[in-house]
């Protein structure tokens, strides 16, 4: 009897997804471009329209394309966000810390230079809500703290940074949860957030970056 296991037959939808992702990776379409219609893709790939439709739904769910009813499908991204999230979930605590230094610290430095009065109002509001939960339920506090940090990054007014940090913030939350489950919440740690907001308000990028580094390096 052979020891070779039989090959698992992959579904037509999986094969269609491979072909569509290959075209996206090869630059067949640019972001914002309208994709070929289902009949056109069906003829090109040699598969049924139902299979194409299911594959397109998967791509829409993952954020690669946008399906507009009555208008067609449009390319939203060339990198699968789900693959990004999976890669982030495998990073170590030290790798997460390094990434925060590269991404968050620099973004906050820019925020100190570019913030608007509307940004400051949104940041004060977020910090106030975060502070009211600091000594309460941990998950609620972490959710509020992430809103504050996302608004800090948004104040840099760089959509690419905001998008990257949006993906990465789940890792920040997991890191924070791990730390706060081990060490008690100290008021001086929250006070660093207040100082950080003050540095952004005073348009002091170097001080803002230094405070951001302290927050990231806290055990």
- Structural domain containing residue 149: 83-217
Question: With 60 as the cut, is the pLDDT of residue 23 above it?
Answer: yes
**Does 56 lie in the same domain as 19?**
yes
Q: What is the pLDDT of residue 100?
A: 87
Q: What is the pLDDT of residue 167?
A: 74
**Does 48 lie in the same domain as 137?**
no
Calpha distance 139→143 (Å, rounded): 6
Q: What percent of the chain has pLDDT over 70?
A: 90
Let me know if residue 73 belongs to a domain: yes
**Does 41 lie in the same domain as 137?**
no
- pLDDT tens-digit readout, 91-139: 777 888 888 899 999 999 999 999 999 999 999 999 999 999 998 888 8
Structure tokens at 5: 């296991």
Residue 46: CA atoms inside 13 Å, Cβ hemisphere, count?
2
Let me know if residue 4 belongs to a domain: no
Q: What is the pTM of this model?
A: 0.63
Q: Which residues pair with 75 in a beta bridge?
A: 65
Let me know if residue 3 belongs to a domain: no
Q: What is the pLDDT of residue 73?
A: 93
Q: How distant, in Å, are the alpha carbons of 28, 67, 68 from that of 57? A: 19, 8, 12
Let me know if residue 155 belongs to a domain: yes
**Does 171 lie in the same domain as 159?**
yes
Total count of domains within the chain? 2
- pLDDT tens-digit readout, 60-100: 877 788 899 888 999 987 766 656 656 666 777 788 888 88
**Does 213 lie in the same domain as 135?**
yes
């Amino acid at each position: 009897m052979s020891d070779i296991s039989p090959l698992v037959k992959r579904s037509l939808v999986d094969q269609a997804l491979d072909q569509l992702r290959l075209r996206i990776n090869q630059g067949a379409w640019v972001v914002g471009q309208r994709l070929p219609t289902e009949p056109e893709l069906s003829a090109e790939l040699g598969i049924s329209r139902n299979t194409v439709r299911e594959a397109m739904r998967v791509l829409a769910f993952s954020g690669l394309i946008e399906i507009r009813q009555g208008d067609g499908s449009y390319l939203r991204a060339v990198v699968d966000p789900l693959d990004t999230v999976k890669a982030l979930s495998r990073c170590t605590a030290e790798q997460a810390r390094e990434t925060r230094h590269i991404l968050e610290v620099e973004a906050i430095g820019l925020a100190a230079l570019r913030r608007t009065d509307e940004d400051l109002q949104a940041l004060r509001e977020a910090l106030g809500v975060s502070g009211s939960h600091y000594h309460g339920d941990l998950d609620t506090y972490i959710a509020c703290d992430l809103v504050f940090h996302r608004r800090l990054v948004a104040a840099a007014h760089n959509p690419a940074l905001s998008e990257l940090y949006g993906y990465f913030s789940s890792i920040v939350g997991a890191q924070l949860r791990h730390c706060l489950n081990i060490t008690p919440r100290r008021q001086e740690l929250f006070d660093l957030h207040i100082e950080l907001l003050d540095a952004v308000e005073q348009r002091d990028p170097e001080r803002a970056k230094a405070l951001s580094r302290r927050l990231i390096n806290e055990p």
